[in-house]
Amino acid sequence: MTNPYKIVDNIKQYDFMESWKFLEKMGKSRYGDQFMLFKEDKDVIYKLLVYAIQDEENCQKHGIDPNKGILLTGPVGCGKTSLMTLIKLFMPPVHGHVMKPAREVAFEFNTHGHQIIQKHATPKTIFCYDDLGVEQIMKHYGNDCNVMAEILLSRYELFITHKTKTHATTNLNAGELEKLYGNRVRSRMRELFNLIAFDSKAKDKRK
């Protein structure tokens, strides 16, 4: 597969259509021949690409801060998880870049307790929390804990002190996230994330 860029003066210059073809090719390799990108998602994919390659000029045009993480929102089945997985191919290689379902994190807390929250408070790892908001309030030795709320607060502190990025996908809107995690967490999320959103009527690609 041809690289989706050419090198000019030791700088990678990306071509959007070649990048589109590269993403689709890698998607088919990872998810099967049924995988495809849709023209109606072009704006979302473009924003993810300019963010991933740290194209500061186009990030600025689209209101994206390249120093923050990404919160990718949209309806069930619109392709959030697969895109956030594939877009890593365009990002600079880093030590530790983990896609983690929020529901799985919550269940780990149920078994192991607060050490799970500490595990996610490391500046060395970029986490992407998949399906943020589908997890339940969990108990450990009878104590309730909104696990992802606590983790998001920890990740915010890492962002402030170490510039550590955090990414997430969610089916929920801003009001639903605030209801679930509270105003304090929602406020921190505004500083932690760039919001990139699929159209609310985006098709379910799984059908």
Query: Is the full-model pTM beyond 0.75?
Result: yes
pLDDT for the residue numbered 207: 67
Phi, psi of 73 (to 5 degrees): -115, 155
* Rg of the chain, C-alpha, whole Å: 18
Q: Classify strands 97-101 and 126-130 as parallel, antiparallel or unpaired.
A: parallel
Domains and CATH numbers, the chain: 5-197 (3.40.50.300)
Q: Give the span between the Cα atoms of 4 and 101, in whole angstroms.
A: 29
pLDDT at position 140 is 44
- Give the side-chain half-sphere CA count within 13 A for 137: 7
* Residues 6 or more apart in contact with residue 51 via CB below 8 angstroms: 59, 64, 66, 70, 87, 194, 196
The whole-number mean pLDDT for each consecutive block of 10 residues of the chain, a chain of 207 residues, reads: 74 89 95 95 97 95 97 95 95 82 90 88 94 72 76 97 97 92 95 95 78
Structure tokens at 131: 């399906």
Q: How many CA atoms lie within 13 A of 64 on its CB side?
A: 26
